[in-house]
Amino acid sequence: MTSTATKLSPPGQPGWRGAFRDFTKDHGFQPLRVEGKLPEDLRGTLMRVGPVNFGVGEERYKHWFDGDGGILAVRFDGRGARGAARRIDTPSIRAEREAGRIISSGYGTAIPLWRRLTRGAKKRNAANTSVMAWNGRVFALYEGDVPTELSPEDLHTLGETNLDVIEGTFSAHPHRVPGRQTTYNFGMRYGRVTLLDLYELPDGGAARHLGQVPLPGPTMIHDYIATERHLIFFVTPLRLKIFRMLLGLGAYSENLEWLPELGTQVLVVPIDDLANPVRIETEPFYTWHFANAYERDGSLVVDYVRYPDFSTNAWLREMSHGVPSTNAQGRLNRATVDLKARTFRTEERSALSSEFPRVAPRVQTREHRYIYLGVHSGPGAQRGLLNAVAKVDMATGREECFELGDEQYPTEPVFVPREGGTEEDDGYVLAQVYDAPSDQTHVVVLDARNPGAEPLARAWFDHAFPVTLHGGFMPMK
Ligand SMILES: [Fe+2]
């Protein structure tokens, strides 16, 4: 592979450092160079969102998650691939860019109080976490604010929207329940009592505020998972220092306290009976992401990536500045929640250091066999970006890593079913990959049934794009 780009990782630094540079080369859909052979039945668009700058002007954000959002998309049409990459343009992002300095406190970066009082902005919508497609519309999501609508044609920013129902925030992790032809999501509202707002977004219909469920305290919830009948939340022992936030002291995550003595509350909300949630108190643990959940004989089976505590946040903060001082600690777990006995059991199902678990869309809310996740592979890898994609067979425990090659840094793997396929794993795994040697980004197309094989194809951008957090595949209609 040849490249005219300059590799900017300083000598002695790992190759993945090059993925943490500010992105400025916005462009609409244009042909991508394809290596290998794209499957003819792979038709649709992969969209990914993540933080694409790491500061403004001379000032750097303290945390990866403070970067402004950008979207990377690749459209496959059976013959070739076209790619687009754009920065997202919310009012708060625009105001900060115009100011040339950080003017609002965010997830992990606080501005000094004097700046907040003189030139600061109270609101920050970084639009940097995920992308949601719903009823032909596309939205960039950020859990601290409302969705930002993007043009499905060329991804330019249309504007913030509350979908006519959102009263507080809207999380970056909506989940679809195929059996109900509806997508569900939540938001948070801090007050005398912290409330979880629940929303439903039916296919073809208008969004609706389902109701509210009180939480045990002011906490942070990043993701949840849905079954056919329940919405499941792990309310970890993080508590927000509300008064410090009201006074504008410190960034959001700096005001989160880990209080293990509180334990984690497993909160199960019946979709059709919001007023009667089941609450199970269990040992303290932390989770960012769920893979899937389903109902089995009155119990809920929940697969998720588990952490012993919230030190994962320091790891993520350090990532955007250099090599983290500790190892990543996420491990795939399977929990069983017995709703009658009100018990919670969990067991580690893979010793791999992992994150961003996904399943095939056809098994969402149903019993699944395979989970695809980003993993750390090789000595010392746990202090860097994910460097491999794995497939875990939950029936046998077999773990297989896809062959990406050295110095390849993938994002969350997205499974796309093969047209006419009947087996759960009959399809493709797509991942955005930063290729450190060439300092360029591509989307790799992997054969989900054959992890040991070479990738089927790679669609190359002629530039690097920072690591994105989440995304999805929108099939071509
Ligand atoms: Fe997430």
- Using the mean position of ligand 1's atoms as its centre, give its distance from the Cα of residue 218 in Å: 19
Q: Is the pLDDT of residue 362 over 90?
A: yes
Q: What is the largest CA-CA distance in the chain?
A: 62
The pLDDT of residue 403 is: 86
Calculate mean pLDDT across residues 352-366: 97
- Using the mean position of ligand 1's atoms as its centre, give its distance from the Cα of residue 202 in Å: 22
Q: Is the pLDDT of residue 337 over 50?
A: yes
The pLDDT of residue 315 is: 94
Nearest Cα neighbor of 409 from 356, 462, 448, 456 is 356
- Using the mean position of ligand 1's atoms as its centre, give its distance from the Cα of residue 170 in Å: 13
- Look up residue 418 and give its DSSP letter: P
Q: Is the pLDDT of residue 370 over 80?
A: yes
- Using the mean position of ligand 1's atoms as its centre, give its distance from the Cα of residue 307 in Å: 14
Q: Is the pLDDT of residue 353 over 50?
A: yes
Q: How far apart are CA 263 and CA 418, in angstroms?
A: 43
- Using the mean position of ligand 1's atoms as its centre, give its distance from the Cα of residue 78 in Å: 30
The pLDDT of residue 121 is: 67
pLDDT in tens, 306-335: 999 999 999 999 998 999 999 999 999 999
The pLDDT of residue 12 is: 66
Q: Is the pLDDT of residue 6 over 80?
A: no
Give the mean pLDDT of the chain: 94
- Using the mean position of ligand 1's atoms as its centre, give its distance from the Cα of residue 284 in Å: 20
- Using the mean position of ligand 1's atoms as its centre, give its distance from the Cα of residue 355 in Å: 10
Is residue 384 within 8 Å of residue 323, measured between CB atoms?
yes
Question: Which residues, 6 or more positions from 281, have their beta carbon under 8 angstroms from its beta carbon?
Answer: 263, 264, 265, 266
Q: Is the pLDDT of residue 91 over 70?
A: yes
- Using the mean position of ligand 1's atoms as its centre, give its distance from the Cα of residue 204 in Å: 26
11 phi and psi, to 5 degrees?
-55, 140
Centroid of chain to Cα 333? 18
- Using the mean position of ligand 1's atoms as its centre, give its distance from the Cα of residue 356 in Å: 8
pLDDT tier at 117, thresholds 50, 70, 90 = confident
pLDDT tier at 114, thresholds 50, 70, 90 = confident
The pLDDT of residue 11 is: 56
Burial classification of residue 279, based on how many CB atoms lie within 10 Å of its CB (0-12 exposed, 13-18 middle, 19 or more buried):
middle
pLDDT in tens, 406-421: 999 999 999 999 999 9
- Using the mean position of ligand 1's atoms as its centre, give its distance from the Cα of residue 340 in Å: 30
The pLDDT of residue 393 is: 98
Q: Is the pLDDT of residue 76 over 70?
A: yes
The pLDDT of residue 301 is: 98
pLDDT in tens, 205-236: 999 999 999 999 999 999 999 999 999 999 99
Tally of CB atoms within 10 A around 97: 16
Q: How far apart are CA 348 and CA 285, in angstroms?
A: 13
The pLDDT of residue 13 is: 82
pLDDT tier at 271, thresholds 50, 70, 90 = very high
pLDDT tier at 1, thresholds 50, 70, 90 = very low
DSSP conformation letters of 359-394: --GGGTTS---EEEEEE--STTGGGSS--EEEEEET
Least confident window among 108-117, 191-200, 278-287: 108-117
Q: Is the pLDDT of residue 115 over 90?
A: no
CA dihedral sign of residues 67, 473, 176, 409: negative
DSSP conformation letters of 104-135: S--SS----HHHHHHT--S------SEEEEET
The pLDDT of residue 10 is: 54
- Using the mean position of ligand 1's atoms as its centre, give its distance from the Cα of residue 96 in Å: 24
pTM: 0.96
Q: Is the pLDDT of residue 369 over 70?
A: yes
Calculate mean pLDDT across residues 290-303: 97
- Using the mean position of ligand 1's atoms as its centre, give its distance from the Cα of residue 222 in Å: 6
- Using the mean position of ligand 1's atoms as its centre, give its distance from the Cα of residue 107 in Å: 14
Token pair in block for residue 236: 């970890």
Nearest Cα neighbor of 46 from 443, 465, 453 is 443
- Using the mean position of ligand 1's atoms as its centre, give its distance from the Cα of residue 171 in Å: 9
